[in-house]
Amino acid sequence: MIDKDKVLHIAKLARLHLNEQEASQYAKQLSDVLGYIDKLNQADTQGVEPMVTASPIETVYRADEPKMDLGVEEKIKNAPETSGHLIKVPPVVS
């Protein structure tokens, strides 16, 4: 199905550098994949409904209820070092 020359052409378009051995290996692998896809296309799917997943998807919603926010002191109480209401961190840019 796919020969080494096609693989080398595609590699050139993708700006990939392949040697002859890699191109031959990829040609075989791609041909095997396309052969498997062809085998799947031969499967009888008459009457089979298309699906997104193998199991049903159920969306679980919860009520959107406002909750009390933590105060600033509660948020920064576990910070190793603070400055007022800010958390001190090491400088990122020196």
- Set out the domains of the chain in order of their start, with CATH numbers: 4-40 (1.10.20)
Q: What is the tens place of the pLDDT at every residue in 3-45?
A: 999 999 999 999 999 999 999 999 999 999 999 999 999 999 8
**What global pTM score does this model have?**
0.50
Rounded CA separation 39/3 (Å): 20
Q: What is the tens place of the pLDDT at every residue in 50-87?
A: 888 888 888 888 888 888 888 888 888 889 999 988 99
Rounded CA separation 71/67 (Å): 12
Three-state DSSP at 31 gives helix
